[in-house]
Structure 1
Amino acid sequence: MKNKEHTRQVRDTVVKKFKAGFGYKKISQALNIPRRTVQAIILKWKEYQTTANLPRPGRPSKLSAHTRRRLIRDAAKRPMITLDELQRSTAEVGDSVHRTTISCILHKSGLYGRVARRKPFLKDIHKKCWLKFATSHLGDTPNMWKKVLWSDETKIELFGNNAKRYVWRKSNTLNTPSPLSNMVVIASWFGPAFLQQGQGRWLKLMGRWMEPNTGPFWNLMESAKDLRLGRRFVFQQDNDPKHKAKSTMEWFKNKHIQVLEWPSESPDLNPIENLWKELKTAVHKCSPSNLTELELFCKEEWEKISVSRCAKLIDIPQATYSCNRSKRWRYKVLT
């Protein structure tokens, strides 16, 4: 085991004698140092053109090169794999290391933990329908969109929002398909509606959906009545199976309510999503401690939304809005 290294002067002398034509053996005898040491000094000088000490890598890695490549490969193929899972997989092959060690290895390869971006669970047919919807409404006037009564359901949790998912990905790869967390529409608790004149009534979704005197149908008619719409409105709804049921469509037909044709899996096209964001932020600041307070705060914050805010969302040229949003989502899912 080497106790100390030779001085810079000795190393320079070895190189000087080598340049003068001395062989490894003669240099070793002249300076009284091992032949292997002479050889190492010469090889280092040939490669780096210096005899000075170079930056050292530090303590040798506990993981073999094969295990490191395996970790990087697993994280690249399964972006949602956690450090705990990677730690267990390395322990199974006999390499027990800390999570920080695994994290450093992934960082050196360019993989960093990032929050998974959500996107709708789209198929090719959905993308085509989105583009068809956008192009078919390019010629619509602003007055047409002012008549649309927008509706949707959402879920507002008592304690914070849905949990974030972290994924392993490299920089500038935000829109690649693999690290994106698929978002599926979830059954909701509440279902209001709004248009340019303001927001409709707040409805807590409980019991049967298809009860015409107490369910969403009643809420729709009462909201239209409060906003003084009469029959001069177009109702927007998503393609949830209960919304497209035969009995539901017959009810719209009997009430002479025009329903806007809507592409599937397209929450991003609905301007009510902007209100959802503002509503959830406001309710979260109220810090409800139980479901009763949660419902109360939801109603209060919903009623605080100003008519000007609703009008501003509708005043955006909807044809351009829809087309641009569709193209942006198509870019997300195709790149």
Structure 2
Amino acid sequence: MITRTVSKNPRTTRGDLVNDLQRAGTKVTKATNSNTLRRQGLKSCSARRVPLLKPVHVQARLKFAREHLDDPEEDWENVISSDETKIELFGKNSIRRAWRRKNAELHPKNTIPTVKHGGGNIMLWGCSSPKGPGRLIRVKERMNGAMYREILSDNFLPSARALKMKRGWVFQHDNDPKQTVRATKEWLRKKHFKVLEWPSQSLDLNPIENLWRELKVSVAQRQPQNITALEEICMEEWAKIPATSLSSLFANQC
């Protein structure tokens, strides 16, 4: 009964199981329930947070997957992606684990400094391809369509030239409103960008997401203490990323 209940509703708590069994006339402790489920290969884990997908989003993702299922790897090597991300000074981007001895949890080496509201953060825009990283810049104001187009003009196009993308390279970005407004679409058309059609609610599919994760880990390891240092370290760590690393990151995503 226990296994059947959690198979039907994986978010059933141990307390729920105790109450259900008690109503059925059986008294079983939480520990017994846990041990029984563990023997069946089931353990309690934090539920992953995923985008809320409507049927139209599911169909769009399925259509995208089918259209690109047989694309050769060389095609993806000619895609250059852009995206934005937020990096916090202190908080969830910081290192969260430390090897320590008993009763040493408060030793400065084993702690992470925190301040209220995370101590501030910076927004970054960057682009990259399997050939290597493009430019990385800090976005100091709230980005709108006009600013986005200016960033593409001043930073994306020079990045594409510096990366020596092959003729017919493809531009990939997500479906943020500033990227899909008519003015931006018209600008991309006039610049003769070949834009990869991208399904909505698919931020996790952008290959550059892997790169952001690597950057945040590297920055956190250096433990910047103020916003100025945070920005400097982000730029330094971005510049260290080798093209060989990017090829494997993009291959794993695509």
TM-score by length of 2: 0.68
Task: Kindly provide the amino acid, as one letter, of the partner of residue 127 in structure 2.
Answer: A
Alignment counterpart, residue 72 of structure 1, candidates 15, 22, 36: 15
**1:276 corresponding residue in structure 2:** 212
Whole-Å separation in 2 of the counterparts to 1:242 and 1:74: 48
Q: Describe how 1:73-92 pairs up with structure 2 within 5 A.
A: 73=16
Post-superposition shift, 1:225? 2.4
Task: Kindly provide the amino acid, as one letter, of the partner of residue 279 in structure 1.
Answer: L
Post-superposition shift, 1:297? 0.8
The answer on whether the counterparts of 2:77 and 2:129 sit within 8 Å (CA) in structure 1 is yes
**1:96 corresponding residue in structure 2:** none
Cα gap change, 1:158 to 1:302, in 2 (>3 Å):
same
Post-superposition shift, 1:204? 1.3
Whole-Å separation in 1 of the counterparts to 2:132 and 2:225: 29
Alignment counterpart, residue 78 of structure 2, candidates 147, 150, 154: 147
Q: Deviations over 1:246-268 (max 9, x none)?
A: 11101000100111000111123
Q: Matched residue of 1:192: which SS?
A: strand
Task: Kindly provide the amino acid, as one letter, of the partner of residue 291 in structure 1.
Answer: I
The answer on whether the counterparts of 1:160 and 1:284 sit within 8 Å (CA) in structure 2 is no
The answer on whether the counterparts of 2:93 and 2:216 sit within 8 Å (CA) in structure 1 is no
Task: Kindly provide the amino acid, as one letter, of the partner of residue 224 in structure 2.
Answer: P
Percent identity of the aligned residues?
Answer: 41
Q: Describe how 1:168-247 pairs up with structure 2 within 5 A.
A: 189-207=123-141, 208-209=143-144, 210-211=146-147, 214-229=150-165, 232-247=168-183
Whole-Å separation in 1 of the counterparts to 2:175 and 2:196: 11
The answer on whether the counterparts of 1:150 and 1:236 sit within 8 Å (CA) in structure 2 is yes
Cα gap change, 1:231 to 1:212, in 2 (>3 Å):
farther
Task: Kindly provide the amino acid, as one letter, of the partner of residue 262 in structure 1.
Answer: W
Runs of at least 5 residues in structure 2 that lack an aligned partner in the other structure: 1-12, 20-28, 38-42, 95-121
Post-superposition shift, 1:231? 5.9
TM-score by length of 1: 0.52
Whole-Å separation in 1 of the counterparts to 2:166 and 2:87: 31
Alignment counterpart, residue 296 of structure 1, candidates 201, 209, 232: 232
Which structure shows the bigger proportion of residues in strand conformation? 2
- Between 1 and 2, higher relative CO (CA 8 Å, sep ≥ 6) is seen in 2
| Bigger CA radius of gyration | 1
